[in-house]
């Protein structure tokens, strides 16, 4: 399925509305798409992503689930094995842990262990990320738990257009997809300047979203901002922070929004770093064994003779996500900008 070009005729949507539109489009196209999770049905989700879907498609297509992450994921695996395409929600990424066994041992491996006899085409949506005073259990970025698991696809959009297109692609994908939604970006882009008013998506070109069906492929990164001086590998909220940091530091950075974390678009990454000779990896998640380590290793393996500086990583600290110290923890434009300078001056 070819990717739609950004459609200037699209209608303004927040990321929440874009995700809802993606679910609506797919539920309309395919009776096998089933949506459930905690507070997802009648109430429409604590973030409103599933608002109106139960009224439109009925209680057997969109329904509330007991508070049991392993039950939600475990039943979805059974539904997928039957032939449905469940799209389930874990209310916060911080609460996926009780479902770890079902995700890692079951959904990810079902096709392989049965040699294709059974498979689990399903999507697990999880709001993730910090920058919202969410504290320890409403701010985590657990993507590295998933990228480490063979058989899973891990995806994270940074804007409404991609959110809808990637979600549709994830629902149509034959593999289990972990779909991480940066809740900080639900209502508008966020560049890390928490002291400035947030610009809503309605004032942004990437907040224009086609109303119908389109896909953003799960195999392609996006060059968010072309540049020559340094490559920034990032995703989610940090795409916006990185763009702001480069602008403020006056550095011609090429910012790559990975979109699909794993499997990823190595070609785009390698082409960029071979061009710039420098690389900064930026993510909110904690540093040690975070996904940035894999990115740095891949760049080192594939671009060693092109590198003119050590690969930098700007990440969350190796601590639980704090509450009061939110902005000391969150890797904002100042920290990213400093790393960009170190990289280009090295």
Which residues of the shown chain bind another protein in the complex (CB under 8 A)?
34, 60-61, 65-66, 68, 70-71, 74-79, 81-84, 86, 98, 101-102, 105-106, 109-119, 150-151, 153, 173-175, 219, 263, 266
Closest distance between another protein and the C-beta of residue 154, in Å?
Answer: 12
Q: Are 313 and 338 in contact (CB under 8 A)?
A: no
Of the pair 55, 328, the CB lying nearest another protein is at 55
Closest distance between another protein and the C-beta of residue 24, in Å?
Answer: 18
- Give the span between the Cα atoms of 140 and 96, in whole angstroms: 11
Tokens describing residue 179: 């779909």
Closest distance between another protein and the C-beta of residue 242, in Å?
Answer: 25
- Give the span between the Cα atoms of 49 and 185, in whole angstroms: 13
Catalytic residue numbers read: 138
Q: Are 340 and 249 in contact (CB under 8 A)?
A: yes
Closest distance between another protein and the C-beta of residue 88, in Å?
Answer: 10
Of the pair 12, 98, the CB lying nearest another protein is at 98
Distance of CA 270 to the CA centre of its chain: 21
Between strands 222-225 and 253-257, the pairing is antiparallel
Nearest-10 Cα torsion for 161, 167, 173, 176: 140
DSSP structure string for 225-253? E--SSEEEEE-THHHHHHHHHHHHHT--E
Of the pair 61, 194, the CB lying nearest another protein is at 61
Of the pair 72, 132, the CB lying nearest another protein is at 72
């Amino acid at each position: 399925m070819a990717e739609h070009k950004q459609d200037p005729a699209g209608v303004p949507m927040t990321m929440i509305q874009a995700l809802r539109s993606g679910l609506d489009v797919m539920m309309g196209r395919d009776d096998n798409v089933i949506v459930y999770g905690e507070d997802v049905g009648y109430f429409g989700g604590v973030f409103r992503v599933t608002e109106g879907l139960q009224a439109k498609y009925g209680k057997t297509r969109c329904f509330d689930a007991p508070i049991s992450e392993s039950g939600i994921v475990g039943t979805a695996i059974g539904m997928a094995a039957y032939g449905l395409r469940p799209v389930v929600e874990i209310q916060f990424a911080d609460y996926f842990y009780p479902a770890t066994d079902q995700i890692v041992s079951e959904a990810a491996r079902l096709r392989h262990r049965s040699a294709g006899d059974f498979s689990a085409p399903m999507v697990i949506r999880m709001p993730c990320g910090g920058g919202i005073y969410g504290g320890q259990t409403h701010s985590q970025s657990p993507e590295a738990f998933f990228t480490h698991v063979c058989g899973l696809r891990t995806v994270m959009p940074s804007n409404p257009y991609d959110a809808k297109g990637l979600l549709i692609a994830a629902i149509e994908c034959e593999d289990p997809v972990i779909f991480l939604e940066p809740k900080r970006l639900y209502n508008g882009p966020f560049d890390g300047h928490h002291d400035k008013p947030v610009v809503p998506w309605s004032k942004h070109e990437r907040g224009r979203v086609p109303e119908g069906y389109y896909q953003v492929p799960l195999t392609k990164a996006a060059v968010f901002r072309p540049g020559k001086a340094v490559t920034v590998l990032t995703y989610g909220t940090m795409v916006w922070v990185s763009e702001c940091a480069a602008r403020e530091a006056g550095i011609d950075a090429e910012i790559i929004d990975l979109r699909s974390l794993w499997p990823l678009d190595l070609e785009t990454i390698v082409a960029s770093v071979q061009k710039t000779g420098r690389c900064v990896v930026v993510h909110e998640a904690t540093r040690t064994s975070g996904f940035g380590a894999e990115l740095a290793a891949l760049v080192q393996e594939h671009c060693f003779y092109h590198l003119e500086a050590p690969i930098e990583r700007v990440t969350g600290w190796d601590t639980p996500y704090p509450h009061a110290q939110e902005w000391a923890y969150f890797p904002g434009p100042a920290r990213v900008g400093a790393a960009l300078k170190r990289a280009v001056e090295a």
